[in-house]
Amino acid sequence: MIRLHHVPFSRSFRVLWLLEELGFDCDVVEYSIRNGSLRDPAFLAISPAGRVPALEIDGRVLFESGAIVQTLCEEHAGGGLAPGIGEAERAHYLELLSYAETMASLIEQLNMQHLFLRDLTQASPVVIKLTTARLAATLAGFERMLGAQDYVLTRGFSAADIMMGFNLFAAPYYVKMDAYPVLTEYANRLAARSAYQLARDKDGAQDFYTQDFYPVPEG
């Protein structure tokens, strides 16, 4: 039994998607950021920071989406989702895993400012403006990196696309994607994958966003 501790539309979706790409079924245990379930002592015992994803597999628990993705791809190299040590594009693949986390951390900061402060009147327009600008800059950089390629590595689809691709389904809540036609086509390409669609069917209903776009506030 593989068990994924998961919040819908969070970074744990990366692991859900990867498991589908690898052909693994899993039991999904769902949590919510809003109801305190992530602070339950039983969950903290398997995820010290009280964050998803946490993955129970092969008698052990793994946490942090990037670490889980890298571990599963290395242990199941036959899936062809990551270049091995010494292979071409290995360094770029690792760069992209970290780049994905840089972008995701900015989305997380915007989620906090727009959605999760106990008193949303305490949100800082200056912080939101600067963080939104930084997110836009990472998107622009990624658009330049991707260029005319279908996927981030010339060898084809990889786990780096899973790491980066998840971000592109959250970023449009804060940055208008009209300026990034290459990324828009890329996101559509990823969403058309059968494993992505299967994972989305298992993802559950998100309870983060109540509107389609959150503009930078005045002030």
pLDDT tens for each residue of 139-164: 999 999 999 999 999 999 999 999 99
pLDDT value at residue 34: 87
Q: How far is CA 77 from CA 17, 22, 153, in A?
A: 16, 10, 16
* Start-to-end Cα distance in the chain: 51
Say if residue 66's pLDDT is above 80.
yes
Q: State pLDDT tens for residues 32-65.
A: 998 999 999 999 999 999 999 999 999 999 999 9
All structural domains of the chain? 3-79 (3.40.30.10), 90-201 (1.20.1050.10)
- Residue 173, C-beta contacts closer than 8 angstroms, at least 6 positions apart: 110, 209, 212, 213, 214
Which single residue is written with the structure tokens 């690792």? 94
Residue 68 burial (10 A CB sphere; 0-12, 13-18, 19+): buried
Higher per-residue confidence, 121 vs 90 = 90
Note whether 21 and 219 are within 8 A (CB).
no
